[in-house]
Amino acid sequence: MAEIHIRRDHFLGLAKARKIAWQWAEQAESEFDMECAYAESPDGDEVTFKRSGVNGTLLVTPDHFELNAKLGFLLGAFKDRIELEIVKNLDELLAQKKPASRKGKAG
């Protein structure tokens, strides 16, 4: 069984990270036919996801995301490709939340 582990640090805080996690879960459901469940807690959230051949969790904390997934035998052959797609999707969502740089800032 192939495993995927991805960690992305951020400086968003829990409220903004939660919004990104919701977007990620919605995207996983619509694009990859995943079944996602979202559990909120004061310290951090957990998104569980599954479909035939894959299951895992996305932990959401005030300072990082941590995704762990297990791929079944058939999907394990595509581990690298699946991991690249997950990284791309998560990084795109995080890039949307990066603060704009300040131009013309007096020094």
Q: Are residues 19 and 12 in contact, defined by beta-carbon separation less than 8 angstroms?
A: no
**What's the whole-model pTM score?**
0.83
Contacts 24+ apart (CB under 8 A), 41-48: 44/14, 45/14, 45/18, 45/21, 47/21
Instruction: Report the C-alpha gap between 3 and 56 in whole angstroms.
Output: 9
Domain range list for the chain: 2-96
- The structural architecture, per CATH, of the domain 2-96 is 2-Layer Sandwich (3.30)
pLDDT tens string 17-62: 999 999 999 999 998 899 999 999 999 999 999 999 999 999 999 9
- Specify the pLDDT at position 104: 47
Residue type, 6: I
